[in-house]
Amino acid sequence: MNEKSIFEQFDVDLMAQIGSRRDALKGAGKLGAGLALAAVPALFASLIKPHAAWAQQNGAPSVTDVLNFALTLEYLEWQFYEQGLQTANLIPAADRVIFQVVRDHELAHVRFLEDALGLAQNARLPNFDFSAGGAFADWNTNYATYRALAQGFEDTGVRAYKGQAPNLIANDAVLTAALQIHAVEARHASMIRRLNGEFNEMAPQKGWITGAQTGVVPAMVGGTAVGSAIYGPGNPPADFPSEANITQGGVDLTTLTFTPQLEGDRALKISESFDEPLDMNTVLAIASLFIVQNA
């Protein structure tokens, strides 16, 4: 496997061009450059150990299976942004740089994973239908639909990588690379959520997920099986809870003492503090809605 850092492939100068309202990606270069790789797995260890135990008991996929799974998701995201950028009059000029940066990152992920798997470029690139068989028929003509799907894909990606971390815990090199990609996907998700929060159909919205997105994600995503799958529980729910989860490490965090700044709706604030993992089958079920056939 090529263990070269993912961050070395990113265009830091391009990120610096993003305007002040796009602060979620502005510091990505500094964050990536200053990230202590050895600290990344340790940061997640306490959260993924319970899932690692479940994985060992339930026939966990191999490292190769996980890399192929990740490649499918990265193909989907790369092509979604590539096709969107190639569509005239879809993305406003002021926002194009956002999607160009994200597109470039997703392509870097694709090439990294292909190299790790010993594949030729685009060797397993599927054919995509981003209308999901007509459910999102205006995905490439309505910017609101496009942005909503972008948010859904990025939020799914964050949960997917976290869900597979336990299956990589025995391979330090692969786990480190996967968590680097996970961190980048999280910044993508935050940036797109902040962008969406500037538009009436999604305002107000923060850069992180609040609860299970009830009343926040627009009906074009939240009102379909796609939306409920993205933010709901996986299988089994005890190991892959919904984004509204308030229990971590067996502790109901709503029972803890909070500072005055954190009082209020404890459940929502706690849910905002953690991204929940999602299992491979649920993620593939979401992705399959947009895949016509394997190439």
Average of per-residue pLDDT values in the chain: 78
Chain centroid to CA 25: how far? 14
> What confidence tier does 203 reach under pLDDT thresholds 50, 70, 90?
low
Residue 52 lies in a domain: yes
Residue 276 lies in a domain: yes
| Among 54-68, 123-137, 145-159, 171-185, the least confident range | 54-68
Q: Which tens digit of pLDDT belongs to each residue from 11-42?
A: 433 333 333 333 333 333 333 333 333 333 33
Give 101-112 pLDDT, tens digit per residue: 999 999 999 999
Domain residues for the domain of 141 are 6-293
Report if residue 1 sits inside a domain.
no
The residue with greater pLDDT, 61 or 44, is 61
According to the model, what pLDDT value does residue 214 have? 54
Who has greater pLDDT, 90 or 243?
90
281 inside domain: yes
Instruction: From 165, 199, 194, 139, select the one nearest 47 (Cα to Cα).
Output: 165
Instruction: Report the number of distinct structural domains present in the chain.
Output: 1
The larger pLDDT score, comparing residue 291 to residue 293, is at: 291
In a domain, residue 182? The reply is yes
Q: Is residue 30 in some structural domain? A: yes
The pLDDT-based confidence of 212 (bands split at 50, 70, 90) is: confident
Q: What percent of the chain has pLDDT over 90?
A: 49
- The answer to the question of residue 44 being in a domain is yes
Say which amino acid occupies 189.
A
Q: Is the pLDDT of residue 46 over 80?
A: no
Is the separation of the CB atoms in 256 and 243 below 8 Å? no
The answer for residues whose C-beta is within 8 angstroms of residue 64's C-beta and 6 or more apart is 117
Residue 264, pLDDT above cutoff 80: no
Q: How confident is the model at residue 266 (pLDDT cuts 50, 70, 90)?
A: confident
Give the pLDDT band of residue 141 (cuts 50, 70, 90).
very high
- Domain-located, residue 97: yes
DSSP string, the chain: -----GGGGS-HHHHHTS-GGGHHHHTHHHHHHH--TTHHHHHHHHHHHHHHHHHHHTTPPPHHHHHHHHHHHHHHHHHHHHHHHHSTTTS-GGGHHHHHHHHHHHHHHHHHHHHHHTPPTTTTPPEE-TTTTTTTTTTTT-HHHHHHHHHHHHHHHHHHHHHHGGGGTT-HHHHHHHHHHHHHHHHHHHHHHHHHTTSTTT-S--SS--TT-TTTS-HHHHTSHHHHHHHS--SSTTTS--TT--EETTEEGGGS---GGG-S-HHHHHHHT-PPP--HHHHHHHHHTTEEE--
The reported pLDDT for the residue numbered 205 is 74
